[in-house]
Amino acid sequence: MKPTLRPLGTSSRRSPQRLSADTLVTTRLRDDAAPYPLIVESREAGLDLAMWARESRDFLDRALVRHGAVLLRGFRSDGANTLDEFVRASGSEPLPYTERSSPRDVVKGHVYTSTSHPSESEIFLHNEQSYNLGFPGRIQFHCVTPPAEGGATPIACTRRVLRELPVALVERFLASSYRYIRNFGGMGLGWRTAFQTDDMAEVERYCRANQIDHAWLDGGRLRTSQTRRCVARHPVSGELAWFNHATFFHVSTLPRRVVDTLRSTFGEDEMPNNTFYGNGAPIEDDTMATLRAAYERAKVAIPWQRGDCLVLDNILMAHGRESFRGDRNIVVAMSNPTRWADVAVDELPNGTRHGRGLGA
């Protein structure tokens, strides 16, 4: 018998639910009443994660659409091999990391380190590669070594983020989209790392194929500019989600000391990364503050245990990273290729109330 889902909002936090007479897992929500992630725990030591995923694929698919995030705990762990086998057993192939924005090392095939950013740096909530025309529909994390202190992975439901935003703000972004300008050379990843090539002509071909304006500057530096949508309709549930990098890449989202340094050194369109309205106009400070606050209200932090596997629907759930101390080895794989052309939303549904959040 296959596991069955409890309706969202029905609590099983204090008494783990046995899913069927012969199942090997239990499910529960967190003790703090957050509706995500759904925690699926093995009842049997050494239970193979890929084997369970292969038999429970429908359950996992439905759980992700409902909750956006599933935390698998207590299964047998074998590092990168575990994650690679799990992704394949779940019905997809691990995807390559293209148009890179974060430093990552290859662990095995298309399994990578989650990020090589310094441990003292927090990483703000974002949806993986939403700035690409094609992006992963899912992202999976596996804990090989938990950090000694800190290092939790915060997640946030982008359906909730969208509901909490003022309708006028959402409609402004729907009308204009947003523009992401990136300057390669100096700070941040170089273009050779981001595009995984030394061939300038190959970079130009990629940019043309992916609707990215580009210009070569003095010293072999590269500037790119791409205009992208902000709201996506989930391909299964039809729900709307705030799905973009407008907040993550905006210079003001960085720590204040970093912002001050960058703004004293570069123009707004010369930053390593920055975002604007689609027409090139700057995004107002109060708008950025509203966006960041909406993510923060939807945030739930996931502390890691050895062997954990966190699966996110990439449209429905943003993720980040807290600072940490000690060793931390989290590997990541992306899967389920999805295209903006299939999920883009250009206007809100009729009857949406202006001036208030979409949940009003």
Please indicate, yes or no, if residue 29 is contained in any of the structural domains: yes
Digitized pLDDT (tens) for each residue of the chain, 360 residues in all: 344 444 333 333 334 443 332 478 999 998 777 889 999 999 988 899 999 999 999 999 999 999 999 999 999 988 888 999 999 999 999 998 888 887 788 888 899 888 777 778 899 999 999 999 999 999 999 999 999 999 999 999 999 999 999 999 999 999 999 999 999 987 778 999 999 999 999 999 999 999 999 999 998 899 999 999 999 999 999 999 999 999 999 999 999 999 999 999 988 889 999 999 999 999 999 999 999 999 999 999 999 999 999 999 999 999 999 999 998 999 999 999 999 999 999 999 875 654 456 654
Q: 200 and 147 in one domain?
A: no
Please indicate, yes or no, if residue 213 is contained in any of the structural domains: yes
Q: 318 and 204 in one domain?
A: no
Please indicate, yes or no, if residue 2 is contained in any of the structural domains: no
Q: 323 and 271 in one domain?
A: no
**Count of CB atoms within 10 A of residue 9's CB?**
8
Cα within 13 Å of Cα(299), Cβ side = 20
CA distance 93 to 48: 19
Please indicate, yes or no, if residue 6 is contained in any of the structural domains: no
Please indicate, yes or no, if residue 181 is contained in any of the structural domains: yes
Q: 282 and 170 in one domain?
A: yes
User: Which tokens is 104 given?
Assistant: 């990552």
Q: 201 and 174 in one domain?
A: yes
Please indicate, yes or no, if residue 137 is contained in any of the structural domains: yes
Of 77, 79, 136, 107, nearest to 311 (Cα)? 136
Domain tally, the chain:
2
Q: 147 and 25 in one domain?
A: yes
Threshold 0.75, pTM exceeds = yes
Of 7, 8, 28, nearest to 17 (Cα)? 28
User: Which tokens is 302 given?
Assistant: 């996931």
| Final residue belonging to a domain, choices 238, 260, 294 | 294
Q: Is 189 helix (H, G, I), strand (E, B) or coil?
A: coil
CB 137 within 8 A of CB 90: no
Segments forming the whole domain that contains residue 35: 17-119+131-157+302-342
Q: 150 and 21 in one domain?
A: yes
Q: 185 and 251 in one domain?
A: yes
Q: 280 and 188 in one domain?
A: yes
The CATH number of the domain holding residue 179 is: 3.60.130.10
Of 330, 256, 332, 334, nearest to 292 (Cα)? 256
Bond prior to 37 in cis (omega within 30° of 0): yes
Q: 178 and 115 in one domain?
A: no
Please indicate, yes or no, if residue 357 is contained in any of the structural domains: no
